[in-house]
Amino acid sequence: MIGCVETDRRAIVTITPSPSVDRTYHLATLRPGQLHRARAVLSEPSGKGVNVGRVLRRLGVPAHLVLTAGGGEGRLLGELLAAVAERDNGELRVDVVPVAGPTRVNVTLVVDGEEPTKVNEPGTALTPGEADQLVGRARQALRGARWLACCGALPVDTDPGLVTRLVEAGHAEGVPVAVDGSGAALAAAVSARADLLKPNRDELAELTGRPVATVDDAAVAAAEVRALTGGTVLVSLGGDGALLLGPAGAWHAATPPIAPVNTTGAGDALLAGYLARDDADPPARLAYAVSIGASACLAKATAELPDVLVDPARVQVRKLPEIAR
């Protein structure tokens, strides 16, 4: 394992209600309306919880993925995950809840030196019975777990109460719960008082109704959210790094200079790095998380890491003053 942390052998459980098969096309140029020939094509199992789990395994942390899958795309997702799990010698467990709707396919177009162009399918709504099965599988996986991470947007027209039930399931087992979601799912996590919220800049702005143009804007908005949950808020800010607000204070970490290859999944890698280092104090934990997020940008594939990781010592962390609310 690269960058192996090995601080705790208990598994981190990730829940992905709307996973995907991700296809990444690497192109020399991108011109709308013209024929393009890809230089390389990658098909990968994905969705936020899948990405978090795969990065955790690269860091030496056991992961247990609980996700849905349906249709021909769902069968392909299962095959791709089985291949990944086999390489990990049992340290990556996969628990699939069969659903009627097809698993979504997401497409990313990557051109050197440019931001990726992405097209994400919305996914098919879960029926109440399918949601019940997902919660039930999560409860089984939680026994002896280290963290529960509920990741990704819910499929369209799925009851956001599903997130509330997952947070409650984690707390009933004495397992801290992280939620990386958006919209109604993120709002439900706030109401359920999830232990850790991991919004990005846009998700934080939508949740609070505040503009989040600067790091200071993000800090104010995150403090507002933390006041409601009493827990921790980790905000991914892309090229501006990340913010961490928790009971011990608030910090900002700047992303070190890198030449990104593929930024898809960088926020998922950030969360994986943070969950993996619960032995560290907050600023060191944030620096490690940002280094893992930055490292993920240097790999062509989503949820992969390069052989040589970005050194956390290159991440500049500064403590923020207490934020008045």
Per-residue pLDDT, 113: 79
Q: Are 214 and 201 in contact (CB under 8 A)?
A: no
* Torsion sign over Cα 225, 227, 233, 238: positive
Q: Are 251 and 244 in contact (CB under 8 A)?
A: yes
Per-residue pLDDT, 115: 82
pLDDT digits 0-9 by tens, 229-262: 999 999 999 999 999 999 999 999 999 999 998 8
Architecture in CATH of 12-320: 3-Layer(aba) Sandwich (3.40)
- Output the average pLDDT for the chain: 93
Q: How confident is the model at residue 295 (pLDDT cuts 50, 70, 90)?
A: very high
- Tokens for 114, please give them: 């440019």
Q: Are 245 and 297 in contact (CB under 8 A)?
A: no
Q: Sketch the domain layout of the chain as residue ranges.
A: 12-320
